[in-house]
Amino acid sequence: MAPAAFRFRLDGWRLYFILALLVLAFLMPGIARLPAIDRDEARVMQATKQMIESGDYGRIRFQNEPRDKKPPGVHWLQAASVTWLAGEPTNQRWPYRIPSVLGVLLAVLANAALVRRLADGRSALTAGAILASAPIVVIEGHLAKADAVLLGLSGVCFAVLGLTYTRRLVPSVALIAFWMAVGVSVVIKGPVLPGLCIAAIAALAIVDRGAGWLWRLQPLLGLPLAATAMLAWAQIAGWDEVSRFSRSAAMQDLLPKLTSGVESHGAPPGSYVLAASLTLWPWSILAPLAAIVAWRRRAESDVRFCLAWIIPFWLGLEAMPTKLPHYILPLVPAIALLMTHQTALRAETSSGATRWAARATTLIFPLAVTVGCAAGISSGLVTVSPPLILAMALPWIITAMAWRPENVLPRISTIVVLLVLFQSALFQWILPNADRLNVAGALAARIAPGTPVALAGFHEPSAVFALGTETTLTDTADAADFILARSDGLAVIAADELAAAEARAAEQNRKLMRLDRISGYNYGRGNEVDLILVKEDP
C-alpha cells in the first residue's frame, strides 16, 4: 500500500508537473541573490567566464593557470546557459547555476519514473519530494558545479538499470538515454558514474550468480554511443589536450583523494553515516527503519537493486581518506526510494533503541541551525530579522512533526511546505543579506567596472569573478608597485600591511591615497579581513 499523504489523482503528466514545480520551489529562491560561493563554485564560474571571453572551449583555466580537476563538460553547459540567457560573459550568478537546477530536475523526474513503474504514482511523488527537499540536493542545486548535473545523469542511468534489472519493459529511447548519460558523465566528472554503475552491477552479479540481464541494455550498440561524448571532447580540445588533462587530473585530483585527506577534508570511516543526519534531514529519521526493512526484504528485486546501488559505493566512499558530504549525492535517489517502501514505516520492524537513535540524530540539524544562527548574530555576520527567526523555528517544528518515524510520510505534504519556507528564508534572504560574508560583492560595489585591480589582502576566487579576469592576485609590495606604475590602477591591501605599502611608495617620493575600507569575514579561510582600497595620491 502506497503512502496516502498525497490524495489527489496522479495520472501521466500530472505527477511530473507537480514534481517540476516542487523542484523549482526549492531551487529558485536565492539562485540569483546568493553570492558566488568560495572556493569551488567561484572557480568553476570564473573558468566558464574565461571560456566565453577567450572562445577557447578546449582548455579550462583560472586566470593563467590550468585547472586540471574536472573535465570541461559542466563548463560547456554553463557557457551555453550564459550565452543563451545573458548573451555575454556576466557577473550575474544565476545563468551559471541553471545547469545544476536542470540536473536536480532530471534526477527527480527520472527517479519518479522508476518508482512509478515499480510501485505507483503516489509512491513516485513521495520519493520525488524526499529527493527534491533533501538539504544536500537543495544546496548542490544552488551551486554552479558539476555535482548536481552528475546527480541528474545518475538518475537517468539507474532508472533504466532498475527497470532492466526488474524485467520491466524498457523503451529503446530509454536505452539510448542510458548510454548517452554514461558518456556525457565522463565529460562532466570523469569516471564517477561509470564506476558507480559497475559497482552496482558487480554486486548484483555476485548475489544473483550471473548478470545475463545486462544484454537487454544492448551494450554492443550502447558503448559506441557512450564513446561519442569523448570523441566530442577530443574534437573540441584535441587528443593531446584530452590525454594531458586526464593524466594531470588523475595525478593531481583523483589519486591524492584516494591516498590522503586532500585540503583538510580527511575524516574517519563512518563519517557519512553521521553526516546523513544533516544532509538528509528530516528524512534521515526514516533511514534506520528503511535499512532494516530493506535488508529483511532483500530477496525482492527492486529492494536488492537499491541495496546494490547504495552499499558498494558507500563503502568505497567511507574507505577513502578524503570525504566531502556531497560525495553521496548519486546515492540519494536510491535512499529516497527505500524510504518510500510500503513496509518501511511499520513501527514493529525495529527496536526501541533504533527508533530513539534515529530521533537523536534528527535533533542534530535543528540544533546546528540554532547554534549557527546564534553564532552568526553574536559575531555580527547576520542580523535578527523575521526570515532568521522563521529559519530558526521551522527546523524544530518539522522535527517535532517527524518525531515518530511512522508518522513522517503521512504528514509529508505539510513537512514539504515547511521545508520550502525554511529553505526559501535561508537562500533568498538570510545568506544573501549576510553582507560581512560577501567580501567580493562589497569590493565589486566600490570598484568601477574595468578598473585595473591588484588584490593583496583577499585572494578568493569570488573576487576574481566579481572584479574581472585581469584582476592581479599578488602581495603587498607588488600591489604597491602596481598602482605606482598605473595611474588608473587600484590596490586592495590588508589594513595591517598598509604601512608597508606606504613605505614602499615613500622610497620613490610618492604617496598613496586611501579610498575606502571594507571589513568582513573570509569563510574560505576562517578569518576576519580588514581591507583598504588605495591608489596613488596625484
The Cβ-side half-sphere exposure at 297, using a 13 Å CA radius, reads 17
Q: What is the DSSP letter of 430?
A: I
Counting residues of the chain whose pLDDT is more than 70, the rounded percentage is 93
Would you state the pLDDT for residue 289? Answer: 82
Enter the pTM of the model.
0.93
> Would you say domain 438-536 falls under CATH 3.40.190?
yes
pLDDT band at 7, cuts 50/70/90? low
Give domain limits for the chain: 13-247+330-344, 358-431, 438-536
Rounded average pLDDT over 453-470: 94
Residue 84's Cβ-count burial label (10 Å; 0-12, 13-18, 19+) is exposed
By three-state DSSP, how is residue 174 classified? helix
Q: Is the distance from CB of 309 to CB of 204 less than 8 angstroms?
A: no
Decide if pLDDT at 24 tops 60: yes
Q: What is the DSSP letter of 526?
A: T
Distance separating alpha carbons of residues 219 and 359, to the nearest angstrom: 45
CB atoms within 10 A of CB 457: 23
Model pLDDT for residues 425-443, shown as the tens digit of each residue: 999 999 999 999 999 999 9
Would you state the pLDDT for residue 4? Answer: 47
Distance separating alpha carbons of residues 137 and 521, to the nearest angstrom: 26
| CA dist 176 → 162, 179, 226 (Å) | 15, 5, 9
- Residues contacting 64, CB < 8 A, separation 6+: none
Residue type, 25: A
Q: Radius of gyration over alpha carbons of the chain, in Å?
A: 25
Instruction: Give the position of cell 540524530.
Output: 361
Would you state the pLDDT for residue 156? Answer: 97
Rounded average pLDDT over 119-136: 93
| CA dist 233 → 146, 228, 242, 248, 286 (Å) | 16, 9, 7, 16, 42
Rounded average pLDDT over 11-33: 93
- Residues contacting 8, CB < 8 A, separation 6+: 14
Decide if pLDDT at 344 tops 50: no
Which H or E element spans position 482? helix 476-485
Model pLDDT for residues 493-525, shown as the tens digit of each residue: 999 999 999 999 999 999 999 999 999 999 988
Least confident of 98-102, 157-161, 293-297: 293-297
Model pLDDT for residues 463-494, shown as the tens digit of each residue: 999 999 999 999 999 999 999 999 899 999 99
Which H or E element spans position 406? none
CB atoms within 10 A of CB 270: 9
Which H or E element spans position 491? strand 490-494
Decide if pLDDT at 348 tops 70: no
Sign (positive or negative) of CA dihedral 311, 316, 319, 324: negative
Would you state the pLDDT for residue 2? Answer: 45
Distance separating alpha carbons of residues 475 and 455, to the nearest angstrom: 8
DSSP assignment of 234-262 equals HHHH-HHHHHHHHHHHIIIIIHHHHHS-G
pLDDT band at 178, cuts 50/70/90? very high
